[in-house]
Chains A and B, each alone.
Chain A
Amino acid sequence: MKKILSLSVMFFLLMAGILSARESVIETIQKQGVIRVGMSTFVPWAMKDKQGNLIGFEIDVANRLARDMGVKIEFVPTAWSGIIPALLTGKFDVIIGGMGITPQRNLKVNFTIPYDYSGMSMVANKELAKGFSSLADFNKKDVIIAVRMGTTAEQAARKHMPNASLKLFENESQALQELNLGRVHAVVSSAPMPVFHALKYPDKLFVPIKENFTKEPIGFALKKGDHDALNYFNNWILNMQAQGFLQEKKAYWFESKDWEARVK
Chain B
Amino acid sequence: MSSKTPLKFTIIDVAVIIVVMAAIFLFFARMSQVLDYKWEWEAIPSYFFFTDAVTGKLKANILITGFFTTIKLSIWSTLIGFLLGIISGVMGAKGSFEQRFVSRIYVESIRNIPSLVLVIIFYYFVSSRFLDALYLDRWLRNSSNTIQHITGFLFAKPAQINSFISAIIALGIYEGAYVSEIIRGGINSIGRGQWEASWSIGLSRQKTFLLVILPQTFRKVAFPLAGQFISTIKDSAIVSVISIQELTFQGMELMSATFLTFEIWITITFLYFILTFSFSRSVAFLEKKYALKQ
Contact = CB atoms under 8 A, between A and B. Distances in A.
Interface of A: 15, 18-19, 32-34, 36, 41-43, 47-48, 50-52, 74-79, 82, 85-86, 89-91, 170-174, 176-177, 180-181, 197, 201, 204, 263-264
Contacts of B243: 76-79, 82, 86
B94 interface: no
B159 interface: yes
A7 to B, nearest CB: 18
B258 A52 contact: no
Given A82-B242, A170-B252, A172-B256, 4 more contacts: A48-B62, A82-B120, A171-B255, A173-B255
B254 A48 contact: yes
Interface of B: 34-38, 40, 43, 46-47, 50, 52, 59, 61-62, 65, 120, 124, 128-129, 132-133, 138, 141, 158-159, 162-163, 240-243, 245, 249, 252-261
B246 to A, nearest CB: 12
Contacts of B124: 82, 85-86, 89
B141 A82 contact: no
Contact of B128 (A41, A74, A91): A91
A41 B163 contact: no
B257 A50 contact: no
A181 B35 contact: yes
Nearest to A171: B256
A172 B260 CA distance: 12
24 contacts: A32-B138, A36-B159, A43-B256, A47-B256, A48-B62, A48-B253, A51-B59, A52-B50, A76-B159, A77-B249, A77-B253, A79-B242, A82-B120, A86-B124, A90-B128, A91-B128, A91-B162, A91-B163, A174-B255, A174-B261, A177-B261, A181-B34, A197-B259, A263-B258
A76 B124 CA distance: 15
A42 B159 contact: no
Contacts of A41: 253, 256-257
Contact of B261 (A33, A76, A173): A173
Contacts of B245: 77
A18 B129 CA distance: 11
A174 B262 CA distance: 10
B257 A48 contact: yes
A34 B141 contact: yes
Given A43-B256, A173-B256, A263-B258, A89 B159 contact: no
A51 B61 contact: yes
A105 to B, nearest CB: 18
Task: Select the residue from B34, B241, B256, B258 with max chain A CB neighbours within 10 A.
Answer: B256
Nearest to A56: B257
Contact of B257 (A18, A43, A174): A43
A79 B241 contact: yes
Nearest to B34: A181
Contacts of A77: 243, 245, 249, 253
A24 B103 CA distance: 44
Contacts of B258: 47, 263-264
Contacts of B52: 51
Contacts of A171: 252, 255-256
Contacts of B260: 264
Contacts of A172: 256
Nearest to A33: B141
Contacts of A85: 124
Task: Select the residue from A15, A48, A180, A197 with max chain B CB neighbours within 10 A.
Answer: A48
A18 B62 CA distance: 37
Contacts of B40: 264
Contact of A74 (B62, B159, B254, B255): B159
Nearest to A34: B141
